[in-house]
Chain A
């Protein structure tokens, strides 16, 4: 493994670092909104990975001239990953908005968006349920 190998795969390194950053935020942060931010970083890393593999060295923008006379000398970048990612971005936006809507509703019901506080409230609910319904049989509700 030498320098040209490391620099030659720059997009992969960046993608990996960014992806892991996002995933780490999702796991480590207790704030529900910050988790969504992490999820977005995670998804964006994947978008960048796709777009970077669409690059053809020396390739130009993949738009044909209007007279459709295509010069075989010109190399074009691969447009397909871009199109795919356009779809994936839309999916990502839908996910983010749904997640934020859920966070709003959670805030209304729990009055907090911190995971620890929510867990505490839910443990309390579960304990009350255990007390109320526990008589029937052993085990936790």
Chain B
């Protein structure tokens, strides 16, 4: 890494913004080049852990002193690529690296069961690339750079999903479908960026925002907005564009589902937020009313339709996948309110749903270790045989519903508050109504796990290496449900930053 300018010092601390992206990125080829099966996991874990440490340091730095701007290779923007870290992106960096670090210890036993040993090394390499791509999407402040990182994370994701083929060949077709739809989405995104570049002559997002703010919008920029929203919408799995998601989450190895459900769609939502609010400005969004007319109805459909479909699934993993689509509906609803509270609700639900869903998918992974299939009739009564796994899943399930005392409650409370603030009480009722549907499918899970006699046979509790990560994430859902200071503070300052339409940078001051 070269010297950076812009008043940045030549110390490691000055390079903090790039480290969480570069460390996993360099570790991925290292895993393959070393070629030692035993080294793969330790390298992956070390890289992920150091990315987490740096992300936490960044978050603290940002919450204290406003945003950070980093110029790659010392080339000043707008010519060079710029990384911009503010409260929203720092929170996302912590979520992505944190989930990766927690899920990886779980992966050892889970993968040993679900994937042939000879593929493990490549699996970890793809995992690291995926982490690096997601971190880059969040950290980068350059529109085209985001596309490149999006593709890095997507391509490795397709490979990770396809690695479920050893257990079920449908993983291959799921990965293929995901690849086709994901590539169409990414190409739409890049068309949008092309239009933006043609209209403004820059790719730096901060400068794009300034130019669009000064010159207003024309037909080209409106087209760019449409292409970017639809393209990212495919990656986010906005309701009618969600078709890749159930297959991918159902047939991927459990660790992959746990990681992707918590991070991949969330990073895409983050990019969508960045473009909608930082680049196009809230005033423009008010003007075109795109969110009210398109986003809100789709969010509502997702919340109800996907929840209803989830109720009728007999495959626990597929049920959780449909529930993810419904939860993305909540996030879009928060965005669609176009108010500071709504945005804060969306950002905090990104985080809270991320950890909740990761816990649930990890629980499924633990069940799979003993039951071999995630079908309801094969896991009956397993909650009694595996009390610790079962209890963790119940708590995470309660967080999915939004029971007070869990993380899910905080975000739904904020969402209802945002609806009432606008005076749109039917939306508040819709949030409650959709949560009631969640009660039904979570109850089905509890019923299957506890209320029936387990099958005969020696089925024991999951090993400790799975229970510790599972309970770490489950404890986090409770912790962030009770001690809301950190997440709420970060979400609110993120929403503030997004609504004001400009990312505050250290030196220029700002609320950060």
| Interface residues in chain A, defined as those with a beta carbon under 8 Å from any beta carbon in chain B | 19, 23, 26, 32, 35, 39, 42-43, 46, 49-50, 53, 80-81, 84, 87-88, 91, 94-95, 98-99, 102-103, 105-106, 109-110, 118, 122, 125, 129-130, 132-141
Contact = CB atoms under 8 A, between A and B. Distances in A.
B194 A39 contact: no
A134 B191 CA distance: 45
14 contacts: A32-B176, A43-B187, A49-B194, A80-B197, A81-B194, A87-B148, A94-B151, A98-B155, A122-B170, A133-B377, A133-B378, A134-B377, A139-B314, A141-B313
A133 B376 contact: yes
Given A102-B162, A105-B165, A106-B172, A35 B180 contact: yes
Given A87-B148, A140-B314, A109 B380 contact: no
Given A39-B184, A98-B158, A133-B314, 7 more contacts: A84-B144, A87-B144, A102-B162, A122-B170, A136-B376, A137-B444, A139-B311
Contacts of B159: 98
Considering residues A91, A118, A133, which has the most beta carbons from chain B within 10 angstroms of its beta carbon? A91
Given A46-B190, A133-B378, A99 B179 contact: yes
A39 B377 contact: no
Contacts of B158: 98, 102
A26 B180 contact: yes
A100 B203 CA distance: 32
A105 B155 CA distance: 16
Contacts of A87: 144, 148
Contacts of B176: 32, 99, 102-103, 106
A130 B133 CA distance: 38
A134 B151 CA distance: 39
A122 B173 CA distance: 10
Nearest to A102: B176
A46 B187 contact: yes
B187 A42 contact: yes
B315 interface: yes
Given A102-B176, A141-B375, A136 B448 contact: yes
B424 interface: no
Closest 10 CB pairs of A and B: A139-B312, A136-B377, A133-B375, A109-B169, A141-B314, A136-B376, A91-B151, A53-B198, A133-B377, A106-B172
Interface residues of B, number: 40
Contact of B194 (A53, A91, A98, A129): A53
B183 interface: yes
Contact of A95 (B155, B191, B312): B155
Considering residues A84, A87, A118, A125, which has the most beta carbons from chain B within 10 angstroms of its beta carbon? A84
A137 B175 CA distance: 29
Contacts of A139: 311-314
A135 B151 contact: no
Contacts of B151: 91, 94-95
Contacts of B314: 130, 133-134, 136-137, 139-141
Contacts of A134: 314, 377
B148 A50 contact: no
A45 B97 CA distance: 36
A138 B155 contact: no
A50 B194 contact: yes
A40 B196 CA distance: 23
Interface in B368-417: 373, 375-378, 380
Nearest to B175: A102
Contacts of A95: 151, 155, 179, 183
A65 B373 CA distance: 67
Contacts of B313: 139-141
Contact of A98 (B148, B179, B203): B179
B179 A118 contact: no
Contact of A102 (B172, B318, B376): B172
A109 B376 contact: no
Contacts of B169: 106, 109-110
